Chain A
Amino acid sequence: DAKTTQPNSMESNEEEPVHLPCNHSTISGTDYIHWYRQLPSQGPEYVIHGLTSNVNNRMASLAIAEDRKSSTLILHRATLRDAAVYYCIPLPGAGGTSYGKLTFGQGTILTVHP
């Protein structure tokens, strides 16, 4: 399984953009890159995922490096509600022994200041 490295913590000010990095240098060609976040006292929630191209949705953008060894989750304007633990998760594709297993790493604790 691909290993990930994320900063333990990051801080941001409200209404400023936030770039959350993730290193996944051992990712295989068929692994998707998923991001989930967990707000305090809640279960994790899906944020975004991608394979090779950059992706946008209403919550965030995902920028994937050309060599796929790293990715960056971008929150365009942080709000207090975005304070959470953000998890970057490479997800094995079909045929892998870990197919279908969403395995969480340590994640990045994001603090948003008013």
Chain B
Amino acid sequence: DTEVTQTPKHLVMGMTNKKSLKCEQHMGHRAMYWYKQKAKKPPELMFVYSYEKLSINESVPSRFSPECPNSSLLNLHLHALQPEDSALYLCASSQGLQGPINSPLHFGNGTRLTVT
């Protein structure tokens, strides 16, 4: 079992739908991350939140909209996605003070997203 919980585990959505992915952690971590992983590829960083503020956006298209309502919760709002956005979306958290250098990332098991 992972200490970072992601819901839903699977999601199928059409290109005109709006959906949200949810990530929760109760380890008191103050940095949270979204990664995207295509099949047989390494995870790619999308966003980093530090103390509930967006600190890194890796030039992600605006159809992906992150939100960090509080220190335990991270959402990823999805709108007008394309089939090529189908992937495993991974959330992670770390203590946050120095980023991942001395504070390892704890990953959830991801949401498998299929866009039809």
Contacts and interface: CB of A to CB of B under 8 A. Distances in A.
Interface stretch (A15-23, A67-75, A87-95): A87-95
- Majority SS of interface residues in chain B? strand
Contacts of B74: none
Query: Chain A: interface residue count, which band?
Result: 20 to 34
Interface of A: 32, 34, 36, 38, 41-46, 49, 85, 87, 91, 93-94, 99-107
15 contacts: A32-B102, A34-B100, A41-B109, A42-B109, A43-B90, A43-B92, A43-B109, A45-B106, A46-B106, A100-B98, A100-B99, A101-B56, A102-B33, A102-B45, A102-B105
Interface of B: 2, 4, 31, 33, 42-45, 48, 50, 55-56, 90, 92, 98-102, 104-110
